[in-house]
Amino acid sequence: MNKIDHNDPLSKSTDIVSENIEQLQQLFPEIFKEGKIDWQELQATLGEHIDTENERFNFTWNGKSNARKEAQKPSTGTLRPAPEDSVDWDTTQNLYIEGDNLEVLKLLQKSYHQKVKMIYIDPPYNTGKDFVYKDNYKDNLSNYLELTGQTDDKGKKLSTNSDASGRYHSNWLNMMYPRLKLARNLLKDDGVIFISIDDNEVENLKKICEEIFGSSNFVGQLIWKKKYIGGKHAKHFVDLHEYVLVYSKNILALEEILMDRPSNELKKFKEKDEFIEEKGKYYTRPLKSNLGLRKTLIYPIEMPDGEIIETQWMVAKETFLELQKEGRVFFKKKRNGKYNVYRKYYANDGGGRIKVPTLIDDVSNADGKLEIKSLFEITEGRNIPFDNPKPTELLCHLIKPILNKGEIIIDFFSGSASTAHAVMKLNSKDAGNRKYIQVQLPEPTDEKSEAFNSGYKTIPEIAKERIRRAGNKIKEEHPDKAKDLDLGFKVFKLDSSNIKAWSPEVENLEQNLLDAVENIKEGRTENDLLFEILIKYGLDLTLPITEHEVAGAKVFNVGAGALLVCLADDITVAVAEGIAELKNKLNPEICRVVFKDNGFKDSAQKTNVMQKLKQHNIEEVRSI
């Protein structure tokens, strides 16, 4: 039985450097000599694609190399479950995670690698007043615990990035770069990331996105008209808009992005024919083209009366024949007896959907504030607990064309949790089961703010309450639909590992020897350990978990037998026999078993347990 210690890959998040080297080894085995990469051999392999010039096109800033290294550094932290803060803990597929998003993204690398369809983030805009988290590249987890007051009774203020700083843009880029690098790994091949930003950093953001995602994967730059009036304090031009940058993981895998037509445009679908049940009503447009000359679009079409009209049409001949075969071509006689050719566009067959325009001008910042006021029942004259919450209609506008039912969206600068609210709102409209993962730093609220005086000490406390209230509102307004909707969320909180690290320092040797015997940190529960095991094994945090009583010991069954975890004390062969019976009953494709290392009655029982499990073809048995 192998123990999961601090050197084991299961003791930390994904080692991205090792994975990259492994991929290189599969692609170019010839460049590896005695376990190292032969740089000259790699250059020879890639030939003229290597740029050896001293001067080349690139984008750099102070701290970039450290930011890159930070993205590659594994995390030794964990996510501790908080059922008491959650809603529908046992059944929900949604996650709300409190913690520094850099560490959280590292911890999600195994469980959610290439599983996320969409990412939306609304990061700090770097206005000089908003918060920028300054990473400590020596030990970011310790830095997080200290800055959030978890390891320092006095706590430390989270700082702003003043524009008076000599490294004003560099600080912001150092924050964004590793987070975007890690976020890309979570996207599916056809996944997309949307990033809200304003003029302060839009150009720098485009540059790092082009480096991380590739310039060929740029999808578009949306313009959001966030307000309709203003300019009272404008120095030069009235600031009415922000941007949303859109990049894909692989633009070749990305399908066409379509949205529903505005309701006023749907009025044009008036005609009906034999396709009415399947395709809905339709409208027609002339096939004859008035565009500039294109010879490939000129060909003859025979009219119902035998007349041949040869002219330029809107589609190529092959497309026309296909449309005609499918009953999508309509010949209409004019008053003079001549025929015109029309194409049918059906409401339920693409005609009811259009490409998404780059301008969003039908929802404003004010709508986001009104939503918060309504949910929290805030009367006039009182301030809302967020400065500029994104309106859910804006998020719905972005999410609906991308996120299909059952797919995942992650927002790791979740702030007011508008994304979670928008997902629930969309699901309530079309009975979807889209899922969200929200990540938010437990940034403290201002002690002078109304939020603080109302009992909300951190941003996540307000956000979680918003999600609860939004869910309750859907239940009140749509009780029949709500029964089948996932309106819950599981809360997890970033913390150091539940396992004490072995550190053979002479001055602390006695304590370290004791820790090696009792290696679980004081105050950590079985649930804490269970979810750390799930994270390190790369299992979904929302997998179904059931508990079984086996020979007097509790056994957690994760994913219908894929993982069986027993964290009891005084484990005997009888427990192993019970686990084997449970495994045979569940009959999973693969079964892994994890025990607590000091949970065995004695070394003889530990050996016998291993042998008993092997007899039942359970080969992967680990201890923590």
pLDDT band at 239 (very low <50, low <70, confident <90, very high): confident
Determine the pLDDT at residue 260.
80
What value does the mean pLDDT take over residues 537-543?
Answer: 94
Q: What is the DSSP string of 157-216?
A: PPPB--TTSTTHHHHHHHHHHHHHHHHHHHEEEEEEEEEEE-TTTHHHHHHHHHHHH-GG
Q: How far apart are CA 173 and CA 133, in angstroms?
A: 11
Which of 307, 324, 350 represents a domain boundary (last residue)?
350
Residue 224 included in any domain: yes
Task: From 535, 540, 595, 538, select the one nearest 564 (Cα to Cα).
Answer: 595
Tokens of 220: 């578009």
Task: From 228, 235, 206, select the one nearest 219 (Cα to Cα).
Answer: 206
Say whether both 109 and 237 belong to one domain. yes
Number of domains in the chain: 3
Say whether both 417 and 435 belong to one domain. yes
Residue 90 included in any domain: yes
Question: How does strand 563-566 pair with strand 553-558?
Answer: antiparallel
Determine the pLDDT at residue 383.
77
What value does the mean pLDDT take over residues 292-317?
Answer: 92
Residue 4 included in any domain: no
Residue 128 included in any domain: no
Say whether both 97 and 211 belong to one domain. yes
In terms of average pLDDT, the best of 52-56, 267-271, 432-436, 441-445 is 432-436
Q: Among 166-180, 446-460, 505-519, which stretch is predicted with the lowest mean pLDDT?
A: 505-519
Residue % of the chain over a pLDDT of 90: 60
Tell me: pLDDT of 404 over 80. yes
Q: What DSSP element (H or E) covers 146?
A: helix 140-147
Q: Among 100-114, 145-159, 323-337, which stretch is predicted with the lowest mean pLDDT?
A: 145-159
Residue pair 192/254 in contact (Cβ under 8 Å)? The answer is yes
Tell me: pLDDT of 236 over 50. yes
Tell me: pLDDT of 259 over 90. no
Say whether both 292 and 312 belong to one domain. yes
Tell me: pLDDT of 505 over 60. no
Q: Which residue has the higher pLDDT, 468 or 137?
A: 468
pLDDT, one tens digit per residue, over 3-15 is 666 666 676 777 8
Determine the pLDDT at residue 503.
45
Cβ contacts of residue 581 below 8 Å, gap of 6+? none
Tell me: pLDDT of 468 over 70. yes
Question: Strand, coil or helix: what is 50?
Answer: coil
Say whether both 106 and 217 belong to one domain. yes
Residue pair 445/451 in contact (Cβ under 8 Å)? The answer is yes
Say whether both 378 and 461 belong to one domain. yes
Q: Which residue has the tokens 């912001």?
A: 172
What value does the mean pLDDT take over residues 551-571?
Answer: 93
Say whether both 407 and 548 belong to one domain. no
Tell me: pLDDT of 276 over 90. no
Q: Among 405-419, 491-505, 544-558, which stretch is predicted with the lowest mean pLDDT?
A: 491-505
Say whether both 382 and 472 belong to one domain. yes
Residue 46 included in any domain: no
pLDDT, one tens digit per residue, over 599-621 is 888 889 899 999 999 999 998 99
Question: Helices (H), strands (E): how many in the chain?
Answer: 19, 25
What value does the mean pLDDT take over residues 353-360?
Answer: 88
DSSP 136: -
Residue % of the chain over a pLDDT of 70: 88
Tell me the three-class secondary structure of 506-541, residue by residue: HHHHHHHHHHHHCCECCCCCHHHHHHHHHHHHCCCC
Which of 318, 333, 350 represents a domain boundary (last residue)?
350
Tell me: pLDDT of 424 over 90. yes
Say whether both 249 and 275 belong to one domain. no
Q: Among 68-77, 150-159, 332-341, 548-557, which stretch is predicted with the lowest mean pLDDT?
A: 150-159
Determine the pLDDT at residue 509.
43
Tokens of 520: 């679980």
Q: What is the mean pLDDT of the chain?
A: 87
Beta bridge partners of 494: 79
Q: Which residue has the higher pLDDT, 29 or 565?
A: 565
Say whether both 76 and 198 belong to one domain. yes
Residue 225 included in any domain: yes
Determine the pLDDT at residue 586.
94
Say whether both 344 and 360 belong to one domain. no
Residue 129 included in any domain: no
pLDDT band at 44 (very low <50, low <70, confident <90, very high): confident
What value does the mean pLDDT take over residues 372-384?
Answer: 83
**In angstroms, what is the C-alpha Rg of the chain?**
29
Residue pair 516/20 in contact (Cβ under 8 Å)? The answer is no
**What range defines the domain where residue 456 resides?**
72-120+164-257+356-495
Q: What's the CA angle centered on 591, arms 586 and 597, to 5 degrees?
A: 120
Residue 570 included in any domain: yes
DSSP 356: P
Which of 324, 350, 376 represents a domain boundary (last residue)?
350
Q: Among 84-88, 151-155, 448-452, which stretch is predicted with the lowest mean pLDDT?
A: 151-155
pLDDT band at 510 (very low <50, low <70, confident <90, very high): very low
Beta bridge partners of 311: 299
CATH number of the domain enclosing 175: 3.40.50.150
Say whether both 346 and 360 belong to one domain. no
Tell me: pLDDT of 515 over 60. no
Tell me: pLDDT of 437 over 70. yes
